[in-house]
């Protein structure tokens, strides 16, 4: 028998606004209005400032470990901008910008890292899941949420975020396989920031692109400049349209970089070259958008100064709300567990006695000391 080609494809890479200010007017036309661009830039500025403040809170002992978002703001923001309000936004822990754009109060993020469980109590109308610290678990959640929407004949989809390191986790492959085989409308967005803590991307994945991993599951995929807000929006529009119309999953690889340490418990200087960091600093998504707005004559230094002042005030208010929250109630252990508290647990809450759940005193070896 002759040798034939069993499979052949290509993966497109999208770049619209590069770090040199070059803008592809044809691809970028109509993607983001000037008014929206200003608003999105303001979201990025607030996220960046909160990163600085959170770092100081951790260093001063007022907050636990914190993962900064610096350098990766465009990915989650672009996604949140494209998604419908009732679509699920399923994040890990470096998507603050998209969460804030969706409407999540920023103090929720601080409360989470302060160890206050109320930071994970999110308004259901936001369609946002709590931060997922375990690597890869949220991809299964997103697949399940999108599957439920499909089962109910809803038009909602889910979009989940994860890093390049998470694509080596079993949960990633299970979610991808499940979504592809059952035609589930979920967008898998990999933020390839080149480092899984101290493991470089070339060890994490030997293929030229992480996007290739989607091909093994028969999934459509695309790669974009993850520091280019326009490119992210372009790819998200492609992905969400595919998910809604075809009822199929879609994979996006956003090539980006975390400018800070993995978390405040890390020191990236021990494994990263400064030349590499300097290179990616020049590709900063915030600087890129700011300079582009200046070229459009919709931004100037005066507006930048006003924004800086406003963001300073906003972050101070955010910290005050987080640190000034009232002390938790002892009943929260029970009332935060179920939407409708079962009768036996209500008795236990009221009496503070485990005997209220039916413990037989005769089964206790020494009931007098029990």
> pLDDT digits over 277-309, tens only?
999 999 999 999 999 999 999 999 999 999 999
245-252 mean pLDDT: 97
69 vs 202: which has the higher pLDDT: 69
Q: 300-315: b or e for each residue (b if 16 or more CB lie within 10 Å)?
A: eeebeeebeeebeebb
Residue 70, pLDDT > 80, answer: yes
Residue 238 reports pLDDT greater than 90:
yes
**pLDDT of res. 330:** 85
Residues 139 and 288 in one domain: yes
Q: Does residue 273 come out as left (phi exceeding 0), alpha (psi in the -120 to 50 range) or beta?
A: beta
Q: Is residue 364 part of a domain?
A: no
CATH number of residue 94's parent domain: 3.40.50.970
Do both 84 and 53 map to the same domain? yes
**338 and 245 fall within a common domain:** no
Q: Total domain count for the chain? A: 2
Asked if 204 contacts 226 with a C-beta cutoff of 8 angstroms, the reply is no
Average of pLDDT values for 268-282? 96
Within a domain: 231: yes
| Residue 233 and residue 130 share a domain | yes
pTM score of the predicted model: 0.91
Q: Is residue 7 part of a domain?
A: no
**In the prediction, which pLDDT does 329 show?**
86
More confident residue, 363 or 222: 222
Same domain as 252, residue 350: no
In this structure, is residue 366 part of a structural domain? no
pLDDT band for position 186 (50/70/90)? Answer: very high
**Domain co-membership, 291 together with 343:** no
Q: Are residues 199 and 81 located together in one domain of the fold?
A: yes
Shared domain for 318 and 336, answered yes or no, is no
Is residue 367 predicted with pLDDT exceeding 80?
Answer: no
Range of the domain at 135: 13-323
Residue 4, in any domain of the structure: no
Q: Does any domain span residue 5?
A: no
Greatest Cα-to-Cα distance within the chain, rounded to the nearest angstrom: 86
Whether 276 and 352 map to the same domain: the answer is: no
Residue 202 lies in a domain: yes
Model confidence band, residue 1 (pLDDT cutoffs 50, 70, 90): low
With respect to residue 368, please indicate whether it lies within any of the assigned structural domains.
no
133 & 214 share domain:
yes
Residues 141 and 30 in one domain: yes
Same domain, 258 and 339: no
Q: In what order do the strands lie in the sheet with 88-90?
A: 13-14, 220-225, 250-255, 186-192, 158-163, 88-90
Among 59-68, 123-132, 178-187, 361-370, the least confident range: 361-370
- The predicted model gives 23-40 an average pLDDT of 97
């Amino acid at each position: 028998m002759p040798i034939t080609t069993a499979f052949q494809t290509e993966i497109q890479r999208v770049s619209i606004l590069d770090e040199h200010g070059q803008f592809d007017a044809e691809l970028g036309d109509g993607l983001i209005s000037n008014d929206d661009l200003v608003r999105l830039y303001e979201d990025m500025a607030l996220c960046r400032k909160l990163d600085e403040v959170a770092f100081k809170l951790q260093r001063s002992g007022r907050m636990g470990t914190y993962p900064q978002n610096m350098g990766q703001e465009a990915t989650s923001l672009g996604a949140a901008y494209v998604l419908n309000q009732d679509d699920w936004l399923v994040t890990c822990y470096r998507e603050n910008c998209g969460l804030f754009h969706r409407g999540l109060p920023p103090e929720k993020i601080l409360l989470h890292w302060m160890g206050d469980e109320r930071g994970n109590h999110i308004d259901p109308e936001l369609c946002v899941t709590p931060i997922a610290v375990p690597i890869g678990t949220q991809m299964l959640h997103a697949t399940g949420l999108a599957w439920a929407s499909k089962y109910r004949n809803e038009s909602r989809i889910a979009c989940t975020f994860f890093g390049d390191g998470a694509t080596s986790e079993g949960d990633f492959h299970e979610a991808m396989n499940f979504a592809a085989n059952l035609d589930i409308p979920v967008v898998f967005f990999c933020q390839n920031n080149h480092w899984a803590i101290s493991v470089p991307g070339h060890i994490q994945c030997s293929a030229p692109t992480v996007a290739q991993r989607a091909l093994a599951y028969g999934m459509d995929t695309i790669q974009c400049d993850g520091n280019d807000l326009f490119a992210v929006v372009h790819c998200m529009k492609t992905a969400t349209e595919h998910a809604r119309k075809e009822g199929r999953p879609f994979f996006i690889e956003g090539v980006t970089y975390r400018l800070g340490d993995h978390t405040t418990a890390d020191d990236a200087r021990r494994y990263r070259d400064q030349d590499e960091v300097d290179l990616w600093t020049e590709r900063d998504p915030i600087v890129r958008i700011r300079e582009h707005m200046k070229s459009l004559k919709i931004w100037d230094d005066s507006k930048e100064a006003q924004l800086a002042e406003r963001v300073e005030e906003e972050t101070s208010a955010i910290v005050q709300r987080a640190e000034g929250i009232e002390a938790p109630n002892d009943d929260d252990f029970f009332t935060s567990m179920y939407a409708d508290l079962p009768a036996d647990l209500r008795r236990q809450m009221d009496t503070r006695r485990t005997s209220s759940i039916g413990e037989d005193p005769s089964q206790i070896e020494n009931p007098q000391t029990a």
